Every structure is written in C-alpha cells, then in structure tokens.
Structure 1
Amino acid sequence: MLTAEKPTMWRSRYDITNDGGRVARWEPSWWRSGGAFELDGQRYQVHGNALGSRFELIDRTGRQLASARRVGRKRWTVRSGDRTYEFRRASMWRGDQELLLGDQAVGSVRRSSVWRGSAVADLPGMPEPVQVFVLCVVLAMWDAETVAAVAASSGHA
C-alpha cells in the first residue's frame, strides 16, 4: 500500500512510502499538468495535457510506459502494456477513486487527510511504477480541483 504525504503544508511535493519506507517523491510541475518522480534509481516524467484529462508515464529513454485517459470523469482508464485498468469516482461528494475488476471495486486511491493533503493507494496487481503513476495522477487531479475551487470562491474563475 502506497501513502503520499506532503513534508510540509507549504510545499506542493509529496513523499511516497510503501509500508513505511520512502520509495519516491512526487514533484508536480509548476507551470503545466504533470511532474516527475524517482523510483528505484529511475527517473520518470508524468506529462499531462492542458485540461488535466490525459497523462502519460515516460521513462528516462522517452518510452511511454502507461497512459491515463478521461481523468476527472466518473470513469477513467489507465493503460500499461497490454493491461487496461478501470477506475471510477467512488462518490460525487468525495474525490476517492476505486480500481475496478468488472464492476467490483478491488482497490482504491483515497484521501487520508484533507488538511495535510495526504492519500493512500491500494492498487493490487499493478507494477509499482504504474501504482506510483496512478497515485500521482490522482494527486494532480485533486490539486487542480483545489486550485479551481479557490479561484471560483475568490471570483477569479
């Protein structure tokens, strides 16, 4: 199970741990959707489109390892190799995401603390780089939703 937590409230990056040991640090891009993380000595880029609805996981050689489509919709997918993982928003009131097998939830990405911006991902059967990618995509989606809500409430939408 992966856990993502901001080291401080003032930073946008997240430390990602697996069973208590740090495995990666998600560093969102300041100027576009996406960011980067390092896992097992390998650096990965996460590229997103301007709307934040599509993301790609790119390795250091420039090869695409995974892609996420329709992010932010009720149902969305991640494709890696010949596998397609389906997700759905668990509730219209919360941002939690469920990993589906058929129509049955078999995993999830959920907020563990709204105030600290932390999250927990339980994504069985997925390679670790793809698990981290999914977690980073969901964090990026939540961060974009927060920015949009703040802008709307301040009259700058």
Structure 2
Amino acid sequence: MLTAESTGFWGTRYTVAENGIPVTTWDNDWWKSGGTFELAGRAYHVRSTMWGSRFTMLDSGGAVVAEAERVGHKNWTVVAGGRVYGFRRVSMFKGEQHLMDGERPVGVIKQTGILSGNLSADLPGLPLPLQVFVLAVLIVHWQNSNASGG
C-alpha cells in the first residue's frame, strides 16, 4: 500500500510512504504542471502538456521512463518498459481510479482527503517508481481540475 500525504500548506509537497515507511517526497513545480521526486538514489522529473492530459516521467539524464496519456478521461493509460497499463476512473464524482487487467480491476487509487488531496494506492505488479509516477500524475491532475473549477 502506497500513500501520499500533503506536507505543505499549498499542497506542493507530499510524503510518499510504502506500508507506512516514507520512501520519497513528491515536490510539485510551482509554475509548471509537474514536479520531481527521488527514489533509491535516482532523480525523476514529471512534466505534462499544457492541457494536462499527457504526462512524461524522465530520469536525470532526460530519458523517458514512462508516459501517461488521456489523463482525466474515463479510460487512460501508462506506458513504461514496453508495457501498457490501463486505468479507469470509477465515477465523475468519486476520487477513485482502478488499475485494470482487461475489464477486471486489479488495483485501486483513492483520494483519502478531498480537502488535503491525500491519496492511497494498491497497484500490484507496478514497479515502485511507476507507482509514484501514477500518484504524482493524479495529484497534479486533481489539483489542476480543482483550480479550474472542473
């Protein structure tokens, strides 16, 4: 189980923990849509398009590690390591997403605090950097949606 808890007043910093043990800190960029985190000594940068429906995770050398597409739609994907991971929004009104295996949900991401923006995730089979990327993408997406009133 992965959790992301806001530790900054403006929701720009999140402590990410695995089974209660902190593993990284997600830092939102102040002026851009994206942010950074470091995991196991490796730095990652997450960037999005202007409209926030596509996100890219880069390593410190600038190589693409993962891409998320159609974020904000009912069905969206993450591509990493030659694999495609499908996600589905449960409802327009619930802060919940499912990791899908075909038509069967195999994992879940939930908003655990609507006002705080905290999240929890159970994403079996995804490497830890990819799990953090998924949480970061949803943090940024939900913050942008809340800021725009949508």
- Normalising by structure 1, we get a TM-score of 0.91
For this pair of structures, how many residues does the alignment match?
Answer: 150
For structure 1, which runs of at least 5 residues remain unmatched after alignment? Answer: 153-157
For structure 2, which runs of at least 5 residues remain unmatched after alignment? Answer: none
| Structure 1 CA distance for aligned equivalents of residues 55 and 147 of structure 2 | 19
| Structure 2 CA distance for aligned equivalents of residues 38 and 116 of structure 1 | 22
Q: Does the 8 Å contact 1:109/1:138 carry over to 2?
A: no
Does the alignment pair 1:108 with 2:92? no
Shift in alpha-carbon separation, 1:31–1:124, aligned structure 2, 3 A = same
Whichever structure has more strand as a proportion of its residues is: 2
Once structures 1 and 2 are overlaid, which stretch shifts more, 113-122 or 82-91?
Answer: 113-122
| Structure 1 CA distance for aligned equivalents of residues 29 and 9 of structure 2 | 17
Q: By how many angstroms is 1:115 displaced?
A: 2.6
Q: Does the 8 Å contact 2:6/2:118 carry over to 1?
A: yes
**What amino acid does structure 1 have at the position aligned with 2:48?**
G
| Structure 2 CA distance for aligned equivalents of residues 146 and 7 of structure 1 | 18
Q: Does the 8 Å contact 2:11/2:117 carry over to 1?
A: no
| Structure 1 CA distance for aligned equivalents of residues 109 and 47 of structure 2 | 20
Q: Which structure is larger by alpha-carbon Rg, 1 or 2?
A: 1
**What amino acid does structure 2 have at the position aligned with 1:52?**
G
Once structures 1 and 2 are overlaid, which stretch shifts more, 74-83 or 89-98?
Answer: 89-98
Q: Does the 8 Å contact 1:75/1:86 carry over to 2?
A: yes
- Residue 16 of structure 1: aligned partner: 16
Q: By how many angstroms is 1:10 displaced?
A: 3.7
Q: By how many angstroms is 1:95 displaced?
A: 2.6
| Structure 1 CA distance for aligned equivalents of residues 11 and 32 of structure 2 | 17
Shift in alpha-carbon separation, 1:15–1:102, aligned structure 2, 3 A = same
- Residue 55 of structure 1: aligned partner: 55
**Percent sequence identity over matched residues?**
44
Alignment of 1:62-101 (within 5 A): 62-101=62-101
* Structure 1 stretches of 4+ moved >4 Å: none
Q: By how many angstroms is 1:83 displaced?
A: 0.7
**What amino acid does structure 2 have at the position aligned with 1:98?**
H
- Residue 39 of structure 2: aligned partner: 39
Matched position secondary structure for 2:134: helix
